[in-house]
Structure 1
Amino acid sequence: MPSELDARRLIPALTLAVLLALLRRAPGAPLGDTPTDIPAGEPSGEEGEVEGPSADTLKVLLESLLRTTKRHRMEFADEFHGQVRYDVLSHYKISALPANCPRSNFSKEACLRRMLQFLEVYFSVLKVVAKECPGSTIPLESKYYSSLLIKELHKQVGDVAPTAGPGQQLLQEMEASDSFHRKMMAHSILYKAHHFLVDGKTVISKRERSRGGSSRVTVTFYTQKLK
């Protein structure tokens, strides 16, 4: 019999398979550095068709990335054995990262555009973040989900201002730092990414509630045998 933990892990796996099926049918060129491997634990087994309501693609991708970034707090505590407070990361100023979406007086469209700008910078530095956090799978998983989110956001808001400059600037700032501050900057980037996504999700959900409801579609997804 599958354990309760296995069952909980299967739910996001199935949801991601829905998204992958939808994204494969969507037009548009993939990112040049987009990961092709599904993170461990995602479905890769038997195919099956099930009809039913599907969550909005953007929402599910955002939730998948949030589940990944949420683990950072625990990993940080384990690495520093409680000797460094987690919230100290909020004091690191990283000007290259766009500011969080304000929770009031900010439209959904404006938040989506800012989220796209943030994720493109975030995506560009994750390889360096991974080097500074070698025991963590968060950078790799973030890169995977961010690539899908960037693609979906481009579909929804079109082109935005190029972000290669801020990403390059952040990489240069990290390279110029000593080993300790480079590590703390890497952790701060993961910290700020999580809080940015939380605020973005709040703004998007609030604006969608004010518009009332969302559409439902019929989808095909993959099933996986639990061991």
Structure 2
Amino acid sequence: MPSTLNVFLLCAVMLAALLHCAPGVPLDDAPTDGPAGDPSGDLSGDPSFEEGDNPLDQLNNVWEAAIEAIRGHKAAFEDEFQMKYIILGNYKTPSIPDACPHSNFRKEVYLRNFAQGLLTYTVLLKHVEKEYPRKYSSQLDNLIIKIKEKMRHQEKVTALTSSQEEQLLHDIDRPNAFDRKMTAHSIVYNLRNFLVDCKRFIINKLRSPEEV
């Protein structure tokens, strides 16, 4: 059975032959609605999203800004590759942080794991920014600050060392342009889902009376 990589390579060859693939487009293309059942990132109608100046509302706003920064990714990917966005869910990229867990952990654990995952994404985005002229990491930096403000033990959230960063970027590097671009899109796809899924769950956790 051909590997997933071979399947994507075959797709690239077919697209090149049939469509004379144009150069990659920026990842911040015009916004678009997500498919049915696919989280679009628009949580303005969510009961957990409120306007205001209290700390939780500020966290909501910063989180929404991070989601908004990648809202046009679906349209950009489908325009560039002429593939359905959902195919990125089958493209395996090493070192992608785990999805937001829905187990019965305490708030502190959720916050720490989420912040640690964001720190990993800030490194992964360096690969994205090499392939496409788009900056996402500043929005994540702001969100990490707000998440850590909710924690008792901020010191447990640690940035990757320079050697860890180098190894992570080496692990996701690819020898050909097609796979480097697909890896970049896969990172943004997974980041989008990570932000949307964790926001809904963690904000509800923070509203609960449990002590952090």
Shorter-chain TM-score tier: 0.5 to 0.7
* Cα pair distance change 1:53/1:60, threshold 3 Å: closer
| Secondary structure, counterpart of 2:70 in structure 1 | helix
CA distance in 2, matches of 1:189, 1:102: 19
* Cα pair distance change 1:206/1:153, threshold 3 Å: closer
List aligned pairs for 1:96-175, cutoff 5 A: 96-134=95-133, 137=134, 140=135, 142-157=136-151, 158-159=154-155, 160-164=157-161, 167-175=165-173
Residue identity over aligned pairs, in percent, reads: 35
When normalised by structure 2's length, the TM-score is 0.63
Q: Indicate the structure whose relative CO is greater, using CA pairs within 8 Å and at least 6 residues apart.
A: 1
CA distance in 2, matches of 1:108, 1:211: 10
* Cα pair distance change 1:106/1:177, threshold 3 Å: farther
How many pairs does the alignment contain?
Answer: 154
Q: Which residue of 1 aligns with 2:190?
A: 192
List aligned pairs for 1:1-227, cutoff 5 A: 53-55=52-54, 56=56, 57-80=58-81, 83-134=82-133, 137=134, 140=135, 142-157=136-151, 158-159=154-155, 160-164=157-161, 167-211=165-209
Q: Please say if residues 111 and 148 of structure 2, whose CA atoms lie closer than 8 Å, have aligned partners that are also in contact.
A: no
Question: What are the superposed Cα offsets for residues 68-123 of structure 1, whole Å, 9 maximum, x if unpaired?
Answer: 1222111112222xx21211111222341220112342433222111211111111
Q: Please say if residues 102 and 199 of structure 1, whose CA atoms lie closer than 8 Å, have aligned partners that are also in contact.
A: no
Paired residue type of 1:199: D
Unaligned runs of at least 5 residues, structure 1: 1-51, 213-227
| Secondary structure, counterpart of 1:188 in structure 2 | helix
Paired residue type of 1:62: W
CA distance in 2, matches of 1:166, 1:73: 30
Paired residue type of 1:151: I
Q: Which residue of 2 aligns with 1:9?
A: none
1:166 deviates by 5.4
Q: Please say if residues 94 and 171 of structure 2, whose CA atoms lie closer than 8 Å, have aligned partners that are also in contact.
A: no
1:161 deviates by 4.5
Task: Give the superposed CA RMSD.
Answer: 2.4
Question: What are the superposed Cα offsets for residues 114-161 of structure 1, whole Å, 9 maximum, x if unpaired?
Answer: 121111111123232022124xx3xx1x21111112223333330225
Q: Which residue of 2 aligns with 1:35?
A: none
| Secondary structure, counterpart of 2:150 in structure 1 | helix
Unaligned runs of at least 5 residues, structure 2: 1-50
